Structures are given as structure tokens and as C-alpha cells.
Amino acid sequence: MYVVVNAAQSVDGKLSTRRREQLRISGEEDFDRVDRIRAAADAVLVGVGTVLADDPHLTLDEEARRVERLRNGRPGDPARVVVDSTGRTPTDARILDDAATTYLLVSAAATPERREELSDAGAEVIVAGEERVDLREATDALEDAGVGRLMVEGGGEVIYSCFAAGIVDELQVYVGSLVVGGRDAPTLADGEGFIEAFPRLDLTGIERLDDGVVLSYDVGERS
């Protein structure tokens, strides 16, 4: 499976405010770029923290759906995926509507009753891991379900875990021209943080979009 992480951050590395409210960092040109990455993916993944904060839909806008998906011979929207150990995704979340398939990656910590409720709400529930979701096992299961290219949209906890699991091939970061600040505001990579063997990146592109810049990287070995 090929995994591309995309996120928008302030110049000080924040994905949103300390209140974890959705923050518009990208401009129109960047949202078009995000749509193109979504369109090229078989599935778009976020953490349950993002679902609870933003209630995202994770579908394509009409233009991207028409141009990109049909061009790739794959009409419709990519599947949606939530990393959600205990199954906290609300059953009325927008991500569980019938616009596209939605996989909920839970761990053994999600009770059978909760798994059934989520399944009744339309989710394809995949169990991987004991406490937290085991991302390697979960992405293997997604690959078995036909996901060859996965886009990870955040948030900071899940992006860190994807790097820690060694499953990221490519990173694209839009750096918007604003400062958010706040020691408790989510950043591009939260979690425990690395203290050795840091993921090393090869800078492959710099592009000015709107009033910000897109930085593109291939992900190398940890060292």
C-alpha cells in the first residue's frame, strides 16, 4: 500500500487552535490540491479526534469528482476510514452517511455491542490491535479490502502514529501564512514524539499556493 499524508499547518506547525476547533488554513487553490489527492486515493483516513472536532465528510467536490475520478476510471468517492479504538464515532457523524464506504478501525477495546451499533449505522468495522488500533495490521486489512493508495488527513496523533508505524511513503504539508500558537494546540505530529531514529524526509517540491506554500517530501529510513 502507498500512503500519502497531507495536512495544513500554520508557520508554527499547528493544525488547529488549542480549542481544537476546525481552522481554515488552506485557501481555495490548496483545497483544490487536497481534492486532487483525495481523488487519486482509494481511501481517506482520519483519527476519531478529527471526527469529534470537525465532523468531516471527506468526499470530493463536484468538479474533482467529475474530472479526477472519471479520468482515473474510478467514478464515485474514495472510501473513508476512521482510526477509533473504542468506537467513539457518533452514529450520526457525517462520515457515516451513504456517500461512500466507511471503514471504522477499532481495537479489541471496542465492545461487541458498540461494534454492532456502528455496523448498524453503516460502517465496515475492522478490529486491529488490543488497546489502540494497530496501524500496520489495520492497513494490511484495508489493503485486503482493495485499498492500494491511502491518504491520511490527520490529525496530529494519527499522523505521528503513522510515522511511528513506518507506513508513510509521502508527506505534503501546506504551510499557511499565520501564527496560531498555544502549547496545547495540535501539531503535525503529536503522540509521544521521537527521541531517536527520526523519520528522515527528502524534499521533492516547493510550490506557492494562495498566500502559503506546499512542501512535498518522500519519506526515507529512520535514523
Ligand X SMILES: Nc1nc(O)c(N)c(N[C@@H]2O[C@H](COP(=O)(O)O)[C@@H](O)[C@H]2O)n1
- Interface ranges with ligand NAI (CB under 6 A): 7-8, 15-16, 20, 22, 25, 46-50, 53-54, 83, 85, 132-133, 135, 153-158, 161, 186, 190
49 binds ligand X (CB under 6 A): no
Which residue, 47 or 199, is less far from ligand NAI as judged by CB?
47
Stretch near ligand X under the rule CB under 6 A, chosen from 23-31, 100-108, 141-149, 189-197: 23-31
Are 149 and 5 in contact by the 8 Å Cβ rule? The answer is no
State in angstroms the smallest separation of the CB of 165 from ligand NAI: 8
Between CA 176 and CA 14 the distance in angstroms is 10
CA 23 to chain centroid, in Å, comes to 16
Residue 56 found at the interface with ligand X (CB under 6 A): yes
In the chain the first and final C-alpha atoms are separated, in Å, by 23
Q: Does 54 bind ligand X (CB under 6 A)?
A: yes
C-alpha cell at 135: 496501524
Q: Does 81 bind ligand X (CB under 6 A)?
A: no
Looking at residue 146, what DSSP letter applies? T
Number of neighbouring beta carbons within 10 Å of residue 194: 13
Name the minimum Å distance from CB 197 to ligand X. Answer: 28
Contact 182, 74 (CB under 8 A): no
| Selection from 15, 24, 29 nearest residue 213 by Cα | 29
Q: Which helix (H) or strand (E) holds 141?
A: helix 135-144
Which element (helix H / strand E) includes 53?
A: helix 48-54
154 binds ligand X (CB under 6 A): yes
Q: Does 84 bind ligand X (CB under 6 A)?
A: no
Q: Cβ of residue 187: shortest distance to ligand X, in angstroms?
A: 14
Where does this chain touch ligand X (CB under 6 A) — which range of 16-24, 78-86, 107-115, 199-207? 16-24
Positions that interact with ligand X (CB under 6 A)? 8, 22-26, 34, 46, 50, 54, 56-59, 153-154, 174
